[in-house]
């Protein structure tokens, strides 16, 4: 036995390798345990909300949840067929609408579909008021006259259980009816059956083979139903509004019936989903491409102005003696630390037509009193204020890169005969490019997601995509579209951030110089 | 750059001074908007510009009426108290979770360090409007929207990256043999942390906390969506004031906030120097 063959053992006799591995594992576990609470916290308070937003940008359950029977019935309807769908669709839609109105969810569905086809919101609202007063009351009266048992909710309860297979519509309508009545807080055994149940029963009886029921009550009802004057539901809906007979309306419902839709994303880039495929929106509705373009363009202008203003300052700071530079640095850090709203309000005050800047210009006779400059509530205002707000984010990374350029490089270039300009342009500037890159990406990332400043000084022409997102969340309540716009913006930022990470590295993010 | 050589040509001299003038203009652009609101906030009139009395340095042109309004108007007072109730709580949460995690992250062996780091830093990267939108959707699902704790949790999440960054930066220079020495002398991990590690990283923790505090104190986009009227903070009130009827009280508030940020800036700078001295990274 030689020392080389046998494994090295620790004092307690376990092999050293295993012991070290265990120690490493324990150390890893301890490090992870320290990080875990925060990870969980961020996951719940931040990552989950972002995931929720991504989910909402494609989620479209509302059509399916509000009018499930109609969605089912529309599956068999060919959109190419001219004219409105058949009575089976209207029957399903009638049942769905009655319950949707009871839950008051029809207006929400209307506003959802209104994003895709203008006019549907008012159509649904209007129909909601009338759908309870359809001529289907005739069916109810006829059945009740035939046998008083039909007035008893217990009859329906029994039939929906025992005859569910032969009365599918009735059974499903009855189930939803029970939910609706219970949600209302009433006793289902006391509530008088609604007209919609009789309509469903009528439809079921007309579909079933004559006299095929085991229950005499149903056979009687069936023969009575055959004598009844049929109520055309498509006519009833048509009487509310002609639009219900327009196949385009039904095509829209059919197109947006799916639980998940690319519709919001298409909307974000001025496209829309139609039965015939993806199409451009009407000329007047195309605003998002313009808005994305404007956001990018203005962010670019802001970034470039930050480079132009920040570069000389960073250069000066990096080349002055440390003591002087530190004092001048305060002039950069103070704006950096001052509340964003303070700076925005200050610009709002300065840039007004009766504000300080215009007053000075008038006093210096540069501008006539009658023709004061309009510096606010337009793109100029946004660009000036945002350049001021984001300038420290350009100066700080530029400064830290310039600090690392050895002054000997420029001196060497000069001693080799370069003029001041050549020495700067061929030697110093290329060395400072990483700083420009880092600062630009940082400023650009911050600029494209800005909300407060454009909202306050941008007017209508100086706003960004983020203002539109806020508008859709709080005013138009089109959350899906807001989520889709946000998702696009988020991915743009993540790509830029990835670039930033490649140039600078996340670990090198420094705060306040 | 610092000095001009005696043999400098005329163009060099011209450029030297022109360059300083350009830099001076940029510095002016940076600082003037912040300075100018201070005298304007003492305006005796409800104007947003210098009145002839003010320019003549007439004492009648100045008054404290806008400050008076700030301290007596219930809207502003309510907003101020809301800010004071929200920001420290959010800071407390971010600092306690953040410091713990930063210590964990600075251990030599952390599984998935890069991914974890990216996730913890993300609240700083994602544009506020997107965080606000996501939080609004998600918090209304779980019933936190419009509540005090909803705003506190949201602000804590936004402050965490700052704590992580400053504390990990302090820990980079931390001499690990100190904790080993403490353990060797019989201290248990808790004592080691409290008596040895914490005092050394305290400057980083405090400045991270100040960053988190100012993030929450200044934040308006998220609170606008996640909060309800009951959580109206100072920036929110300023935002409403600027958007609807702009009143000169805003300038008084702005001046107060500038003073607060000057104090915070000075504190952070002092802490940074102290931390560098403690870690022996600079002669002080």
**Per-residue model confidence as pLDDT tens digits over A28-80:** 888 888 899 999 999 999 999 999 999 999 988 888 888 888 888 888 887 77
| DSSP H or E segment with residue A484 | helix A479-503
Provide the whole-model pTM. Answer: 0.84
pLDDT recorded at residue A408: 92
Of B31, B50, B257, the CB nearest to A356: B50
Q: How confident is the model at residue A5 (pLDDT cuts 50, 70, 90)?
A: low
φ, ψ of residue A15 in degrees (nearest 5): -60, 145
Indicate whether B153 pLDDT > 90. yes
Q: How far is B15 from chain A (nearest CA, A)?
A: 11
Mutate to test the interface with B, among A341, A343, A369, A463 (most CBs of B within 10 A): A341
Among A19-28, A122-131, A152-161, A426-435, the range scoring the smallest mean pLDDT is: A152-161
Indicate whether B48 pLDDT > 70. yes
Residue B172 burial (10 A CB sphere; 0-12, 13-18, 19+): exposed
Q: How confident is the model at residue A506 (pLDDT cuts 50, 70, 90)?
A: low
Q: How confident is the model at residue B280 (pLDDT cuts 50, 70, 90)?
A: low
Task: Round to whole Å and give the CA distance between A44 and A40.
Answer: 6
**Mean pLDDT within A139-160:** 82
Q: Residue A426: count other Cβ atoms within 10 Å of its Cβ.
A: 12
Residue pair A197/A145 in contact (Cβ under 8 Å)? The answer is no
pLDDT recorded at residue B63: 86
Q: How confident is the model at residue B264 (pLDDT cuts 50, 70, 90)?
A: confident
- Structure tokens that stand for A56 in this block: 């909402």
Structure-token match 């600062």, residue found: A439
Residue pair B221/A452 in contact (Cβ under 8 Å)? The answer is yes
Q: Residue B135: count other Cβ atoms within 10 Å of its Cβ.
A: 28
Indicate whether A218 pLDDT > 70. yes
Task: Round to whole Å and give the CA distance between B226 and A498.
Answer: 28
pLDDT, tens digit, 9 for 90 and up, residues A391-405: 999 998 899 889 888
Q: How confident is the model at residue A460 (pLDDT cuts 50, 70, 90)?
A: confident
pLDDT recorded at residue A146: 82
Quote the DSSP letter at residue A427.
I
Indicate whether A513 pLDDT > 80. no
pLDDT recorded at residue B61: 81
**Which residues lie below 8 Å from residue A252, measured CB to CB, with a gap of 6+?**
A113, A116, A117, A120
pLDDT recorded at residue B58: 79
pLDDT, tens digit, 9 for 90 and up, residues B211-237: 899 889 989 999 999 999 888 999 999
CB contact under 8 A, A493 and B29: no
pLDDT, tens digit, 9 for 90 and up, residues A161-197: 787 777 888 888 888 888 888 888 877 777 888 888 8
Per-chain mean pLDDT for chain A? 85
pLDDT recorded at residue A316: 93
Contacts of A334 in chain B (CB under 8 A): 31, 34, 261-262, 265
Find the distance separating the first CA and the last CA of chain B, reported in whole Å: 26
Q: How confident is the model at residue B94 (pLDDT cuts 50, 70, 90)?
A: very high
SS3 content of chain B, % helix, strand, coil (to 5): 75, 0, 25
Is residue A475 less than 8 Å (CB to CB) from chain B?
no
Of A42, A342, A469, the CB nearest to B160: A42
pLDDT recorded at residue B203: 81
Size of interface A-B (CB pairs under 8 A): 278
Is residue A40 less than 8 Å (CB to CB) from chain B?
no
Q: Which residue of A has its CA nearest to B123?
A: A46
Indicate whether A236 pLDDT > 70. yes
| DSSP H or E segment with residue A273 | strand A271-274
CB contact under 8 A, A356 and B49: yes
More confident position, A147 or B123: B123
More confident position, A3 or B240: B240
**Mean pLDDT within A184-213:** 81
Residue pair A321/B2 in contact (Cβ under 8 Å)? The answer is yes
pLDDT recorded at residue A1: 46
- Structure tokens that stand for A221 in this block: 């009802």
pLDDT recorded at residue B1: 47
Among A198-202, A224-228, A504-508, the range scoring the smallest mean pLDDT is: A504-508
Indicate whether A113 pLDDT > 80. yes
Find residues 75-94 of chain A whose CB sits inside 8 Å of chain B. Answer: none
pLDDT recorded at residue A296: 93
Q: Which residue of A has its CA nearest to B260?
A: A338
């Amino acid at each position: 036995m030689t020392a080389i063959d046998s494994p090295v053992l620790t004092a307690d006799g376990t092999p050293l390798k295993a012991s070290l591995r265990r120690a490493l594992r324990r150390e890893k576990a301890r490090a992870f345990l320290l990080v875990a609470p925060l990870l969980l916290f961020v996951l719940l308070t931040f990552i989950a909300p972002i995931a929720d937003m991504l989910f909402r940008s494609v989620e479209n359950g509302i059509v399916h949840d509000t009018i499930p029977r109609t969605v089912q019935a529309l599956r068999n309807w060919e959109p190419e067929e001219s004219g409105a769908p058949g009575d089976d669709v209207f029957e399903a839609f009638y049942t769905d609408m009655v319950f949707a109105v009871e839950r008051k969810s029809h207006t929400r569905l209307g506003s959802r579909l209104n994003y895709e086809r203008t006019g549907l919101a008012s159509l649904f609202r209007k129909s909601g008021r009338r759908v309870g007063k359809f001529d289907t009351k005739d069916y109810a009266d006829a059945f009740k006259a035939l046998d008083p048992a039909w007035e008893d909710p217990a009859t329906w309860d029994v039939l929906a259980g025992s005859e569910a297979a032969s009365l599918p519509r009735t059974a499903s309508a009855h189930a939803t009816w029970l939910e609706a009545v219970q949600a209302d807080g009433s006793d289902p055994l006391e509530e008088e059956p609604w007209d919609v149940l009789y309509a469903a029963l009528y439809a079921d009886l007309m579909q079933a083979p004559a006299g095929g029921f085991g229950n005499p009550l149903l056979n009687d009802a069936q023969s009575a139903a055959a004598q009844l004057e049929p109520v055309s539901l498509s006519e009833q809906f048509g009487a509310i509004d002609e639009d219900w007979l327009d196949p385009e309306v039904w095509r829209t419902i059919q197109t947006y019936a799916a639980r998940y839709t690319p519709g919001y994303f298409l909307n974000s880039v001025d496209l829309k989903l139609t039965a015939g495929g993806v199409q451009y929106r009407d000329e007047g509705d195309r605003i998002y491409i313009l808005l994305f373009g404007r956001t990018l363009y203005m962010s670019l202008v802001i970034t470039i102005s930050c480079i132009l203003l920040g570069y000389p300052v960073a250069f000066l700071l990096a080349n002055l003696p440390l003591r002087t530079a530190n004092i001048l640095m305060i002039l950069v850090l103070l704006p950096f630390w001052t509340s964003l709203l303070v700076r925005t309000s200050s610009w709002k005050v300065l840039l007004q037509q009766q504000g300080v800047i215009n007053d000075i210009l008038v006093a210096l006779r540069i501008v006539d009193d009658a023709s004061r400059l309009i510096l606010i509530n337009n793109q100029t205002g946004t660009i000036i204020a945002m350049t001021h707000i984001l300038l420290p984010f350009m100066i700080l990374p530029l400064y830290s890169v310039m600090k690392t350029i050895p002054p000997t490089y420029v001196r060497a270039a000069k001693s080799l005969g370069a003029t001041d300009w050549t020495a700067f342009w061929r030697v110093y500037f290329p060395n400072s490019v990483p700083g420009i890159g880092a600062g630009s990406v940082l400023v650009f990332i911050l600029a494209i997601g800005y909300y407060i400043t454009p909202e306050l000084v941008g007017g209508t022409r100086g706003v960004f995509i983020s203002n539109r997102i806020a508008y859709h969340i709080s005013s138009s309540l089109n959350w899906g579209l807001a989520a889709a716009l946000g998702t696009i913006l988020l991915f743009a930022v993540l790509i830029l951030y990835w670039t930033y990470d490649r140039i600078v590295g996340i670990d090198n993010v420094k705060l306040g110089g | 750059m610092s000095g001009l050589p005696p043999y400098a040509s005329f163009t060099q001299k011209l450029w030297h001074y022109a360059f300083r003038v350009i830099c001076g203009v940029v510095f002016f652009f940076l600082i003037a908007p912040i300075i100018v609101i201070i005298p304007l906030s003492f305006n005796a009139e409800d104007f947003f510009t210098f009145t002839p009395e003010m320019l003549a340095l007439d004492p009648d042109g100045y008054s404290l009426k806008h400050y008076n309004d700030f301290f007596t108007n219930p809207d502003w007072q309510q907003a101020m108290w809301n800010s004071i109730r929200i920001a420290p709580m959010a800071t407390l949460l971010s600092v306690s979770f953040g410091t713990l995690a930063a210590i964990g992250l600075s251990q030599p062996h952390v599984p998935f360090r890069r991914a974890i780091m990216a996730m913890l830093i993300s609240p700083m990267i994602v544009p506020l409007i997107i965080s606000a939108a996501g939080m609004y959707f998600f918090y209304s699902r779980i019933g936190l929207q419009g509540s005090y704790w909803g705003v506190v949790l949201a602000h804590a999440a936004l402050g965490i990256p700052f704590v992580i960054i400053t504390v990990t930066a302090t820990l980079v220079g931390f001499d690990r043999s100190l904790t080993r020495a403490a353990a060797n002398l019989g201290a248990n991990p808790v004592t080691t942390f409290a008596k040895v590690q914490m005092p050394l990283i305290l400057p980083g923790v405090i400045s991270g906390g100040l960053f988190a505090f100012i993030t929450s104190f200044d934040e308006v986009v998220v609170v606008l969506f996640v909060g309800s009227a009951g959580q109206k903070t100072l920036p929110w009130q300023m935002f409403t004031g600027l958007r609807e009827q702009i009143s000169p009280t805003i300038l008084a508030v702005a001046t107060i906030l500038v003073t607060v940020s000057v104090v915070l800036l000075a504190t952070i700078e002092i802490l940074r120097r102290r931390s560098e001295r403690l870690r022996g990274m600079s002669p002080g």
